[in-house]
Amino acid sequence: MKTATLERKTASAKAKHPTELIRQIQKGLPFSDLKVLQGSIDMPFEQLAAKLSISRSTLQRRRAAGRLSPDESDKVLRFSRLLRQAADLFGDIDKGRAWLKHPQYGLGGAVPLDYAETEIGAREVENLLGRMKYGVYS
């Protein structure tokens, strides 16, 4: 199951304490974490990179270096966290992935992954998932 793979292979699963997670982000996650996210979210690599604000040339440099920048690492973890939350809510990674990719009434018709390009938007997506979990969907 891809959720288990995502949780095993991303830094968020490896880091038990927020301090450790912050250190990993500051150091920069391995490029392989971006590959794991791409496979889990089932989106073309270039399209995912664009959502993470990574240009094609920067993507090539990161691939060669084998490490993401702290800002890019933070965004990878943000998307991983949302995918995990959506998969948990819907009980299936495919359903969670589909929900993240389609316009949602609770976000004013916005696509959750588009909203999640900023931290504030990601929080709104998380809030919506939380409201849905507890039956307060509006």
pLDDT band for position 17 (cuts 50, 70, 90): confident
Identify the pLDDT of residue 7.
47
User: Residue 138 domain-assigned?
Assistant: no
What's the longest Cα–Cα distance across the chain? 46
Identify the pLDDT of residue 136.
82
**DSSP structure class, residue 117:** T
pLDDT at 9 over 60: no
pLDDT at 1 over 70: no
Identify the pLDDT of residue 102.
97
Pairwise CA distance, residues 93 & 85, whole Å: 10
> Is the pTM value of this prediction over 0.75?
yes
With contact defined as beta carbons under 8 Å apart, do 97 and 87 qualify? yes
Convert the pLDDT of each residue in 84-123 to its tens digit.
999 999 999 999 999 999 999 999 999 999 999 999 999 9
pLDDT at 8 over 80: no
Convert the pLDDT of each residue in 25-78 to its tens digit.
999 999 999 999 999 999 999 999 999 999 999 999 999 999 999 999 999 999
Identify the pLDDT of residue 3.
45
User: Residue 60 domain-assigned?
Assistant: yes
User: Residue 8 domain-assigned?
Assistant: yes
CA distances from 8 to 45, 111, 120, 134 (A): 21, 27, 27, 27
Q: What is the residue range of 58's domain? A: 2-133
Taking residue 132's Cβ as centre, other Cβ atoms within 10 Å add up to: 17
User: Residue 55 domain-assigned?
Assistant: yes
Structural domains counted in the chain: 1
Pairwise CA distance, residues 118 & 10, whole Å: 20
Q: At what angle do helices 93-101 and 31-41 cross, to 10 degrees?
A: 90
Identify the pLDDT of residue 15.
55
User: Residue 79 domain-assigned?
Assistant: yes
Give the number of C-alpha atoms closer than 13 A to the C-alpha of residue 115, restricted to the C-beta side: 24
Q: Is 10 helix (H, G, I), strand (E, B) or coil?
A: coil
